[in-house]
Amino acid sequence: MINKQFAIYYFSGTHWDREWYQSFQGFRYRLVEMMNEMIEVLENTPDFKVFHFDGQSIILEDYMRIEPQNRDRLQQLIKEGRILVGPWYVMPDEFLLSGESLIRNLMTGHKITSEWGGSPWKYGYICDIFGHIAQMPQIFKGFGIDFALLGRGTNEHNCPAHFLWESPDGSNCITFKLPDKNGYGCFSASPIFEKQEDSEELKQLLEEHIEGELNRSDIPIVLLMDGTDHQHIRLKTPDYIDKIRELFPQAEVFHDNIERMGEKLKEYSNVMPVKKGELNETAKAKGGYLHLITHTLSSRYPIKKNNDECQTLLEKWVEPLVVMAQENGLCIQKTYVDEAYKFLIQNHPHDSICGCSIDQVHKDMEYRFNQSEQISEQLISAIINHEKCKHSKENTSNMRVLSIFNPLPFPRREVIALEIDFNTDYPTRYQEPFGYETINSFKVYDVKGNEIPYGIVEKKKNYRIRRYNQFVEWADVYKISMEIDVPAMGVAEYKIEPFNEASRYLDVLCKNNNQVENEYIKLTVNDNGTLNILDKISGKSYKQLLSYLDDGEIGDGWYHVSPLQNRIVNSLGAPCTIELVENGPSRTVFRIVKYMTVPECMHYHNNGIDRSDEAAKMEITSWVGLSKEASYVDVETIVKNIARDHRLRLALPTNVDSDKYFVNQPFAFVERNTGINYDTQEWKECEVPEKQMGGIVGKRSMDGSGLAFISAYGLHECAGLDDENQSILVTLFRSFGKTTRTNGEDGGQILGDLSFKYCIVPLQKDTTYGQLIKMQDCIQTGVRSVSFRVAEDYMLANHKSYFMVESENICTSIIKRPENGKKNVVIIRLCNMSSDVSTAKLKCFKQIVKAEEVNMNENYIADIRFEQNYVNITMSGWKIRTISLEF
């Protein structure tokens, strides 16, 4: 019998998967039925106080397309606070998305809720996400959200029902931990609702359940979670609440917005335990719901790659270019950007982006990615060509200009491959003796008149060029590699002049068929296709990099599982060919082709499961490059995946003597122990080596040297092993044939060509996390260029920079127009990617008239001191700040 006084909060709601084991259309059909009933019940049952709609607002849009006549009824219930929607647009995954995607998701949820006349639900409701990033409390705080509710990634044996969850910067949320058993449906799933309302069984079950919840914390507050998957509104809820009040007269019982519970919990915050950083523990207790579900990180690689590419287009290209365009007389409608983001974020529900749904769901995602990408590419093309088309119209000169755009807020000096289109009758050409091949002869000069050596990578003759939506000319397109200097978030121009002699460059970077070096690195390609990298600064050598491990897969979109009778194939014994395919004055590229013989599929038979004896020859082609002044080796890999039911991992033996490794997440880096916790071997879900990364993983020794892997797109699962080589493993992909609640489907096998882009970076003792983020920004973003004819007397424009952020530790997350559409205002979000107090100098292209700090929803916080055209921003460790500048 419970004798003490306490409070009970009854949570009425539902968890609504927009798509999962049914397609969106299947789930929406159920959603419409459920919402029609919900409206009827709430309108006719005033004692039913409130219904929580899973923290999402997209359900309003989905419902309205089918039942537009019910808008006024639904809106009235939202205005009254009877239906709670937001703060999210969709309930996302955290580990697989950029920080800006999470922020945009919350901004969209807040905007939609406000448009419906309601107040966005100020609860960090993340009840079904597969683990949680370290900075989520700080992101919630950026929207005025003080409370969170979660389950996965925590365990009852070491985490009470109420705790403080703290980000690396010190921001915290009062957090409710869902019960291990049945989680957000713990009360719904109990047999309570099967018993007669006046029975002794009901009383006993209620007392047992509530006493169990009280025992999960020293704080006398209980939350009863009645809101499981796709649950309809429970008509008799007021009757059950009356029964609870009758049975527990010593308790205050509330059927209310659980923000009220959060406010009550503030009284106890000083006695709550604190959990810091990411939450990614596997599940110990038996029972339903609680699983971390790690391997969604590597499910359906193509959708992860598409997502990262679309995020990069919007965050690193469209948003800053729109700011630049506005200053050059081209105003891009904000609705285009909003539309591209909506298509993208509609792919971010956890069961969608995680790759654990049926094939149709992921086919639908391809369409949304395509729409987001096409809108972004159209905007980028329009902006880049706007400023330049006036020079090239009706100009028949053979003088050309190559205009190069850098959208990142720091200057870049690097070797880049760029395309130049020449008219097919270009006047200056040369041939080697006896005329074997005709080559355009030209020189490239920068704005100071310096000649820039280049290497020709590729030539396409008689290539059709489409300009302004019409085919207007044929061209010979040359791809060249050259070292460029481009200003921070700005444009650099290079002149391309006809040259009457042969334009050869004989001084090439590589002097050896399998070895090349620059100022920082000596790269050797070994006979077995692996790489040795000598760091010329530290003297450290990293050997046998870039081999592959292939093992069996009998799992699904949620989990990697190898068969008991597994065979792991190592590429070190596989045949390979090594070619030198590019060797210019500033860049060398080797092509390494490995032929890895792996089992063709999984063999299911009466006596068990094993990998088939039938073999497939999987071709793995890597282009390995080293450029002048580059501090890393860059790699592009294509795997011809013709096998089924397997997993392919990239192996990097670091030999760095450390029991820690680091990875990036949105707005942070986290450090983890290598290996696994062997004490979990009898848990329901044992710990696995594979864990999340945001594309960056590395290891450092005590002296600060080490090795890092940086991926451009799609790779989010890694492992830091405690083997003798201190290896880092990166999961390239998993091929599987099982999907939830089906007889098996083929989409998860992802057969065909799979492409990867990444670099391998030797670390110096002074290499900062901020520098690694900027490297990732560069390989993700690249540059964009356009070449055009100009008059003979054309003068190259001086470098123009719109914004520049000067700091070793502080990185820029986004530069964009404000959401309120106010003209002459730019929003800049910064993050200190270190634990040290750091300062960034933010230089602007013209005079500032007002500087403000705003929150992540772009609401005013405080004025900021500024000088004529710059602002100094000081930030504590791991802090995220959003700045609004008016010009």
Residue 122 shares a structural domain with residue 197: yes
Residue 152 shares a structural domain with residue 255: yes
- Does any domain span residue 529? yes
Residue 650: give its domain's CATH number: 2.70.98.30
The confidence band for 4, taking pLDDT boundaries of 50, 70 and 90, is confident
Of the residues 472, 504, 536, which one is the last residue of a structural domain?
504
Residue 752 shares a structural domain with residue 873: no
pLDDT at position 817, please? 97
Q: Give yes or no for a contact between 173 and 148, defined as CB atoms under 8 angstroms apart.
A: yes
Judge whether residue 3 has pLDDT over 90: no
Cα 297-127-154 angle, rounded to 5 deg: 70
Average the pLDDT over 835-843 and give the result.
98
Residue 872: give its domain's CATH number: 2.60.40
Separation of alpha carbons 580 and 624, rounded Å = 10
Judge whether residue 117 has pLDDT over 70: yes
Separation of alpha carbons 206 and 247, rounded Å = 9
- Does any domain span residue 833? yes
- Does any domain span residue 787? no
Judge whether residue 392 has pLDDT over 60: no
Residue 28 shares a structural domain with residue 163: yes
Q: Give yes or no for a contact between 185 and 231, defined as CB atoms under 8 angstroms apart.
A: yes
- Does any domain span residue 776? yes
Beta-sheet pairing, 124-125 with 147-150: parallel
Closest CA to 9 of 151, 128, 176, 124: 176
Average the pLDDT over 703-722 and give the result.
98
CA distances from 823 to 212, 497, 646, 803 (A): 56, 40, 53, 17
Residue 540 shares a structural domain with residue 472: no
Domain count, the chain: 5
Average the pLDDT over 159-180 and give the result.
98
**3-class secondary structure, 43:** helix
- What are the tens digits of pLDDT across the range 86-107? 999 999 999 999 999 999 999 9
Separation of alpha carbons 826 and 883, rounded Å = 8
Residue 376 shares a structural domain with residue 411: no
- Does any domain span residue 815? yes
Residue 280 shares a structural domain with residue 326: no
Residue 226 shares a structural domain with residue 258: yes
Question: Read out DSSP for 732-783?
Answer: EEEE--B-TTSS--SGGG--EEEEEEEEEEEEPTT--HHHHHHHHHHHHH--
Residue 846, judged by CB atoms within 10 A of its CB (0-12, 13-18, 19+), counts as exposed
Average the pLDDT over 436-456 and give the result.
96
Look at 204-213, 221-230, 528-537 and tell me which has the smallest mean pLDDT: 204-213
Judge whether residue 571 has pLDDT over 70: yes
Main-chain phi, psi angles of 576, to 5 degrees: -150, 160
Question: Domain containing 817: what range?
Answer: 802-886
Amino acid at 825: V
Q: Token pair of 617, please?
A: 């020859």
Q: Give yes or no for a contact between 645 and 550, defined as CB atoms under 8 angstroms apart.
A: no
The confidence band for 462, taking pLDDT boundaries of 50, 70 and 90, is confident
Judge whether residue 1 has pLDDT over 80: no
**3-class secondary structure, 728:** strand
Of the residues 456, 472, 504, which one is the last residue of a structural domain?
504
Residue 285 shares a structural domain with residue 323: no
Separation of alpha carbons 365 and 371, rounded Å = 10
Residue 282 shares a structural domain with residue 163: yes
pLDDT at position 298, please? 98
Cα 753-755-758 angle, rounded to 5 deg: 160
Average the pLDDT over 452-474 and give the result.
82
- Does any domain span residue 303? yes
Q: At what angle do helices 359-386 and 334-345 cross, to 10 degrees?
A: 160
Of the residues 325, 360, 387, which one is the last residue of a structural domain?
387
Judge whether residue 308 has pLDDT over 60: yes
Q: Give yes or no for a contact between 32 and 40, defined as CB atoms under 8 angstroms apart.
A: no
Separation of alpha carbons 642 and 753, rounded Å = 9
Residue with tokens 């007021």: 238
Residue 213 shares a structural domain with residue 117: yes
Strand order in the sheet with 803-806: 803-806, 838-844, 870-875
Average the pLDDT over 233-240 and give the result.
93
- Does any domain span residue 198? yes
- What are the tens digits of pLDDT across the range 758-811? 999 999 999 999 999 999 999 999 999 999 899 999 999 999 899 999 999 999
Average the pLDDT over 711-737 and give the result.
98
- What are the tens digits of pLDDT across the range 598-637? 999 999 998 899 999 999 999 999 999 999 999 999 999 9
- Does any domain span residue 231? yes
pLDDT at position 397, please? 85
Residue 369: give its domain's CATH number: 1.20.1270.50
Q: Give yes or no for a contact between 422 and 479, defined as CB atoms under 8 angstroms apart.
A: no
Residue 621 shares a structural domain with residue 761: yes
**Secondary structure string (H, E, C) spanning 172-200:** EEEEEECCCECHHHCCCCCHHHHCCCCCH
The confidence band for 704, taking pLDDT boundaries of 50, 70 and 90, is very high
